[in-house]
Amino acid sequence: MKELTDPAALADLLEQVDYIADEGLATVGYLSIALQRPLMVEGEPGTGKTALASALAECLGIPLIRLQCYEGIDAQQSLYDWDFARQILHLRTLEAARSTVDAADTEGILYSERFLLARPILRALQESPAVLLIDEIDRADDEFEALLLEVLSQYQVSIPELGTIRAATPPIVVLTSNRTRDVHDALKRRCLYHWIDHPDLDREVQIVRARLPQVSDRLTRRVVEIVQHLRAENRLIKLPGVAETIDWARAVHELGRVDLDLDTAMMTLGALSKYREDTEHLRVVLAEQLSR
């Protein structure tokens, strides 16, 4: 893993993989790595929370291990499970060979690392240095948060049949949340926290240029200006994030345009809006903005 000396060094590395981090995000990211503390990032969808974990893994030259959270997720999906099919096959092999291995030894074999299925969290502990992305933690429930407490405080997992497995090097842990529900304080206390807001116009232009260098500067700025206007107006059901800005600029560019005209904007609204009501409002706004 690449060594970091300060937040500016991390910001430079992230920029090399086309992730533009402001000073606040670069600082909290650096401190998360230096202090070996998990980083919880919240913000509106499409503001680059998940992309941050991917960018950290890429710029530091380490694997990204992702755990997508959902309602009902438990230890079997997140920590570990046993390979029951192989265990049964092994038992049948012993029976066919009329093995004299006693019951205690057989159980010891069946519940060894040979038959252990490492899920994302355990994999991150075993394979670290790595970036562990726990995505959309707000979609999980209270029981899953309790499972995370031991992992995030000691970077270890207790397996009754094997004992405790600890990470030789703590992974870089990034938790993301869209704030569909409040995450418990016990989990937040173990993390550093950062809110990722929508970028201002100049930084969003910089982000789009970094991700889509093939798009003309004129088209990039025009697309970003309209998206910024929509956010300031705040009349949409779902405000467009940076991801939608990039998708829209790419869609217009793929049609061979170097600037944004009204007809092209209307044809590519599906890249920007995912709600019928928003699409109707966008038609009015675009007519006003692009007919000047």
CATH superfamily of 7-71+122-196: P-loop containing nucleotide triphosphate hydrolases (3.40.50.300)
CB of 159 closer than 8 Å to CB of 201: no
Percentage of residues in the chain with pLDDT exceeding 90?
A: 64
pLDDT-derived band at 268 (thresholds 50, 70, 90) equals very high
d(CA 224, CA 236): 16
State the pLDDT at residue 196. Answer: 93
State the pLDDT at residue 205. Answer: 96
Helix (H, G, I), strand (E, B) or coil at 285: helix
H-helix or E-strand spanning residue 221: helix 217-233
State the pLDDT at residue 246. Answer: 96
143 vs 122, more confident: 122
Lowest-pLDDT range, 107-111, 140-144, 234-238, 263-267?
107-111
pLDDT of residue 104 exceeding 80: no
Instruction: List 156's β-bridge partners, or say none.
Output: 166
State the pLDDT at residue 12. Answer: 96
- Please give the structure tokens belonging to residue 47: 């503001």
d(CA 237, CA 1): 42
CB of 249 closer than 8 Å to CB of 223: yes
d(CA 64, CA 290): 42
pLDDT in tens, 185-195: 889 999 999 99
- Please give the structure tokens belonging to residue 40: 């919880």
pLDDT in tens, 55-102: 999 999 999 999 999 999 988 889 999 888 888 888 888 777 766 666
Looking at every residue in the chain, the average pLDDT score rounds to 91
Question: What is this structure's pTM?
Answer: 0.87
Domain chopping of the chain, boundaries: 7-71+122-196, 80-114, 201-290
